[in-house]
A and B are shown apart, each in its own frame.
Chain A
Amino acid sequence: MAKLQLREALRRAMVEEMRRDERVFLMGEEVAYYDGAYKVSQGMLAEFGDKRIIDTPIAENGFTGIAIGAAMAGLRPIVEMMTWNFSLVAYDQIINSAAKIVQMTAGQYQVPIVIRGANGAAEGLGSQHSQALESIYAHFPGLKVISTATPADAYGLLKSAIRDPNPVIFMESELAYGTKGEVPDEEYLIPIGKADLKRDGTDVTLVTWNKQVYNCLTAADELAKHGISAQVLDLRTIRPLDEQALFDAINKTHRMVVVQEGFPFAGVASEIVTRVQETCFDALDAPILRVTNRDINQPYAPHLEKMVLPSVERIVDAARTVCGR
């Protein structure tokens, strides 16, 4: 088993799928001759040439729309958003076209596209470059939304996303691109819509995804020092949501904290809390708490930035509160 960086695991998935299927191509800003803004696509131009590794002008709405059209015509585009913040320029094409074309054509046309890129805060990028946008994409039926920052999951899920006949929003992490993890040498796929228990425990479930998984694992170590056994449930896919994994978790630990990077208002965490209490109210021994970004835009100064984002300390505090110790 090799230890790969997140960016290497993502690259391996794309390269394998492009070798396997001529219809797959990669399009985006700086993906080819620059080797990728975050080096995810490094070396791919050399192997596949500029017919399939395509640099675009800075015109997200236009090239996303063209990729959606290419997908309708039977190709399998991967569109790299340098960061998901820039995808808001292409929001119309993603929401009003990609998410609705199967329905608007009553199934006559499909949009097998993957739109992927860095999501969430990095360090000191300020207000417009620090957003985690799962909530505003998961809102829409017709899209699938994956958000993951562990190399093994990213590899298996990206391969599934590329083969999926639907538009898949695939969110990665700038801060985690260099993070290493074990990735099995043999090829494998991870089904979309399945959560993964990253750490087992009995007292409280920390529900999370993407790079907050790392914070939650650290928080669980910390909680153990307080005699609290915390389990970490990594959703990996936001839509479709693995409800059964959430229900199983609450029925086991009876206490839950949802850790979401991103704004709290109408966020993914709110949806999870709603669904768990609607179905499993009797299993709850305490209210479910959320740890999210503070409800403000991201400031630049490092100490201010830390105050805004979810942190190990805030996760530990919330878990101790629901456990009453």
Chain B
Amino acid sequence: MSVTREQLLDMYRMMSLIRRVEELAAKAYTQRKIIGFCHLYIGMEAVAVGASTALRPDDVVVAAYREHGQILARGVDPKHVFAELFGKDTGTTRGVGGSMHMASREHHFWGGYGIVGGHIPLAAGAAFAAKYRGDDSVALVYFGDGAAQQGVFYEAMELAQLWKLPCIFLCENNYYAMGTSLERQSFLQDMSRRGDGVGMERWQFEAFDAVEVYDNISKAAEHCRSGKGPVIVEGITYRYRGHSMSDPAKYRADGELEEKKQRDGILLAADRLKKEHGVTDDELEAIKADVDKQAQEAYDWAVAQADADPALLYDFTYASEAH
């Protein structure tokens, strides 16, 4: 076993928390407590939780706009995630970022970015800085199968490989680039093969089971940390909801969603906990109940917070003093 009983319990808890937070976010969106774009991570929890468990606290993580689950998996309190979604001063980014732009310097979570693929070179830049300074941290960037078509993604891979930067390119292939299915948007279906053109170490894996994700990202991180340069890994996953809250996802084949739900990451972790660690259904139910309570309390806390402060309207355009 690659992860301990305690780690797997924590992973089960975190996946459950992410799902509950996202369900509450979906409800809040329909009540217009959340506006704008809101991309939910439901169905993909195993990826962020497995990956985050495999990283060190000082490793840098860069994400796109489906990042609620990814920032939670990094350890940010759901209170601040909800507060951001509600446009509150105590949000992760003071209510100026919103669903797509959450960041936490304390957690080395560089943020959510909204231009598809545009965030990928930032992670290579973090890896560049790590190598420049001679520390052994790595950078991990999440991106989707859609972003794997962008030119800047290829450029970032090429430069990372040329300069042997410790960067993990983690493609979360959820089978849809917005509403366009993989076979309709990409000649090759194995997105990790994007690495072949630059001679980069690459592989594909099934990312429904958080333990599998943990093992694969651990291997990737070890590769980077040992000075061998970057890797591109592709985790096959699936999102249960549409691209964003405004998408009913009618482009799916009949029965596709139900079939994918057979391999739900939370169910798979529960199975492992029961079979491999003797955890009981009652214990798992207790965790679920605790998570539901934590999410609801975070939600209620956030609703009661002060709105984003108009006095700060101009304060975030320029940095006045260097960090």
Q: Which positions in A face B, CB cutoff 8 Å? A: 25, 51, 56-57, 59, 61-75, 92-93, 96-97, 101-110, 112, 141-142, 144, 163, 165-166
Contacts and interface: CB of A to CB of B under 8 A. Distances in A.
A93 B121 contact: yes
Contacts of A112: 319, 322
A97 B118 contact: yes
A102 B317 contact: yes
Contacts of A51: 132
B159 interface: yes
Contact of A106 (B94, B151, B323): B94
B97 interface: yes
A109 B103 contact: yes
Nearest to B100: A104
19 contacts: A61-B152, A62-B154, A63-B121, A65-B121, A65-B155, A69-B62, A74-B323, A93-B121, A96-B113, A97-B122, A102-B318, A104-B111, A104-B113, A105-B97, A105-B101, A108-B93, A142-B317, A165-B322, A165-B323
Given A57-B159, A106-B94, A110-B323, A93 B126 contact: no
A142 B316 CA distance: 9
A163 B119 CA distance: 25
A65 B103 CA distance: 18
Contacts of A102: 316-319
Contacts of B103: 104-106, 108-109
A165 B93 contact: no
A231 to B, nearest CB: 30
Contacts of B121: 61-66, 68-69, 93
B125 interface: yes
Contacts of A101: 111
Interface in B99-127: 101, 103-105, 110-111, 113, 115, 118-127
A66 B317 contact: no
B49 interface: no
Nearest to B98: A104
Contact of B159 (A63, A72, A109): A63
Question: What size tier do the contact residues of chain B reach?
Answer: 35 or more
B60 interface: yes
B125 A141 contact: no
A193 to B, nearest CB: 11
A93 B152 CA distance: 9
B316 A66 contact: no
Interface string B151-175: 1101110111010000000000000
A59 B320 CA distance: 31
Contacts of B124: 62, 65-66, 69
Contacts of A96: 113, 115, 118
A224 to B, nearest CB: 41
Nearest to A110: B319
B322 A73 contact: no
Nearest to A96: B115
Nearest first, the 6 closest Cβ-Cβ pairs linking A and B are A69-B125, A62-B155, A65-B121, A73-B129, A69-B122, A106-B94
B159 A56 contact: yes
A56 to B, nearest CB: 7
B299 interface: no
Given A66-B156, A107-B315, A75 B122 contact: no
B256 interface: no
B129 A70 contact: yes
A166 B323 CA distance: 11
B173 to A, nearest CB: 22
Contacts of A73: 60, 125-126, 128-130
Contact of A141 (B156, B158, B317): B317
